[in-house]
Amino acid sequence: MAFFRDLLEAEVRRSSPSCSPALLTQLLVKSDDLIKSTAPWASDVFDDNGDCYYRTSTKNVLHDDEDEADASATATSAAAYWEAHRAELTRVSELVAAEWDSSLVVPDMIAKARSDFGKPFFMEISQLDCWAIWLHRMPIQSIRVLIRTEAESNDPEIDQLSFTELRDRLLALDPLDKDHVIRINKAEAEYWKKSEGYRIGWSDEILGFDCGGQQWVSETCFPAGTLAKPNMKDLDYIEELLQLIEKEDIPAPAPIEQRWTACSTSPMSPASSSQEDDIFSWVGIIMYLPTSDARQRKEITEDFFNYRSVTQASLWDGYSAYEHWAKIEVPKDKDELAELQARLRKRFPVDAYNKARRELDPNKVLSNAKLEKLFPVTESIQHAK
């Protein structure tokens, strides 16, 4: 009955911010008892995780395994419960209306309910009933509950914010507190779980996504065997990374992003290989900059580069991992820069690249400060021209 508890808790925190934790716990327990006593059918509708098996409408509904009298009794019990909680459900409807275009979504919900759950036959289902069924599937609700709890806020703007905006608000409260970040990560995991599904459309409609506000990111690429015979290094890398985060007490926000690509014929690609069957995995770590406070941004930046540094020291050489070119940060320290230049030379044909740069772009029209730092043109290359 987690769905009902979350709804009640959010409502209590919104309307009675001074409510003590002990009193709130009592209210939640009473809510469970109320549901079980006045609407026993609810245990057949929602499991303990709030997942919906099926829902009996307050209107004319017949199940294929019960007679008309049983159906009438069930509908009466359902109607009594929803009438008793009309205020909460009205607010639910307002939340959902703000989240979705109800004129389009409600018919889709009904069709999906029929195809997903099959067992009930939805005849005249009201808009409010429809929202009640699908609120538990509304992914953003869990993180709204969390921000009202953590921030102790009744700000009505919370109901209008997107998921990434809510995440930024939460992180800004204490971005480097590991336990706080863990709670946010759990809420985000629930959000993505409830956002699962399939979409069909043009690539420019599907591939774009809201990745959040300002952030530091480091993404590495490393070989993962062949398509015919993966070496499972992709999973080993992630397992070691998670162990490292635990060991170092890193306040690592979600997500840790992992993707896979085929090899590239470009000699300068981190996924470069002459073997067509080779595959590569890419893993990205992240820290967000959810605040404009200069001191806090500096602390987050320092923590991110510590995060990146420990992953580099522990993982990169062992997995032959190299950073995405757009994610490389040029070191300010001369010795660190020299080490980076030497490491890049081990993986990439730097001299051939510089020779091509000198021949094809002598005026450095296509160059920039980062390229000049990472790939300084040696005297031998200059004379070779």
Residue 28, pLDDT score: 56
- What is the rounded end-to-end Cα distance, in angstroms, of the chain? 74
Q: Tell me, what's the pLDDT at 129?
A: 42
- Output the DSSP codes for 119-143: SEE-SS--HHHHHHHHGGG-TTHHH
pTM of model > 0.75: no
**Per-residue confidence (pLDDT) for residue 333, from 0 to 100:** 94
- What is the second-level CATH architecture of the domain 214-324? 2-Layer Sandwich (3.30)
74 backbone φψ class: left, alpha, beta (φ>0; ψ -120 to 50): alpha
Query: In the structure encoding, which two tokens stand for residue 377, read together?
Result: 């043109």
Among residues 301, 263, 302, the alpha carbon closest in space to that of 279 is found at: 263
> Is the CB of residue 370 less than 8 Å from the CB of residue 330?
yes
Count the residues in the chain.
Answer: 385
**Cα gap 256→258, rounded to integer Å:** 7
Unique residue bearing structure tokens 């290359």: 381
Q: What is the pLDDT at residue 66?
A: 41
b/e burial code for range 3-25 (CB count within 10 A of at least 16 → b): bbbbbbbbbbbbeeeeeeeeebe
pLDDT given at position 200: 78
Report domain extents, the chain. 2-138, 142-204, 214-324, 330-385
Return the SS3 of 177: coil
- For the record, the structure tokens of 370 come out as 């980062």
- Supply the pLDDT for residue 192: 82
- Enumerate residue ranges in the chain where pLDDT < 70: 1-143, 145, 148-156, 378-385
Cα distances (angstroms) measured from residue 119 to each of 62, 106, 124, 195: 10, 19, 16, 24
**What is the pLDDT at residue 158?**
72
> Does residue 362 have a cis bond before it (omega within 30 degrees)?
no
**pLDDT value at residue 109:** 42
Q: Are 251 and 176 in contact (CB under 8 A)?
A: yes
